[in-house]
Amino acid sequence: MEFSSKLLERAVNEMSQLPGIGKRTALRLVLHMLKQPKEQTFALSEALQTMRNDVKFCKSCHNISDTELCEICSSPNRKEDIICVVEDVRDVMAIENTSSFKGLYHVLGGKISPMDGVGPHDLNIESLINKVKDGKINELVFALSSTMEGDTTNFYIYKQIQDYKVFTSTIARGISVGDELEYADEITLGRSILNRIPFESSLKL
């Protein structure tokens, strides 16, 4: 692509470093900014800088936070003896949206993936093990994605804590609410049959 302005070219190049944004999309976004009031671009640029500079990670659960200890960890209404282990900040948001979990979280920051060069020490696993060692945790809920890497990570953590008195669970896999059985994959459908629950208890959900 030939640009008539070096400033434009630099802005497009920087934008296209973002995942899923190619040169053409970047150009479209940047030209859109040029049509909008200057203030809008300045606000965006300032928001990104401040965010990158000032955002903190909760020292307990490693969730994104504006304070040392995040709102969830510092809330008195949360059960402190049950911890949901998730991969990412977005997973916390997704589970929070369900209003179905009243415990605390622990954000690993990824999954163990030797292919991508991510080992256990690149993740927030040690601080999780330490929480279990302190003996105040009754249950760990594994809520990682059910991929090879997710399963590996679950198993790694499980191995580290199996000598401690803590109950471990994993979120249910099954047919999504509203889905047709005939279109479900065999593994999901198979698991949903093996892990069937008493009908009475499904009435209470």
Q: Which residues bind a second copy (CB under 8 A)?
A: 1-8, 10-11, 13-15, 17-21, 25, 27-34, 38, 40-56, 63-66, 70-72, 88-90, 92-93, 96-97
Nearer to a second copy (CB atom), residue 49 or residue 195: 49
For a second copy, the closer CB: 41 or 138: 41
What's the Cα-to-Cα distance from 61 to each of 85, 105, 108, 153, rounded to whole Å?
Answer: 9, 6, 8, 17
Identity of the residue, 93 or 193, whose beta carbon is nearer to a second copy in the bound complex = 93
Shortest distance in whole angstroms from residue 124 CB to a second copy: 14
Among 155, 157, 153, 195, smallest CA distance to 174 is for: 195
**DSSP-derived secondary structure letter, 173:** P
Min dist CB 71 to a second copy, Å, is 6
Alpha helices in the chain (DSSP H): 6-15, 23-35, 38-54, 71-74, 89-98, 126-133, 148-161, 186-194, 199-203
Least separation in angstroms between residue 47's CB and a second copy is 4
Work out how close the CB of 103 gets to a second copy at its nearest, in angstroms, rounded to a whole number.
15
Look at strands 56-57 and 64-65 and give their pairing.
antiparallel
d(CA 127, CA 31): 46
- Closest CB to a second copy among residues 63, 132: 63
The residues facing 61 across adjacent strands are none
Of 66 and 169, CB closest to a second copy: 66
For the bound state, the minimum distance from the C-beta of residue 195 to a second copy, rounded and expressed in Å, comes to 30
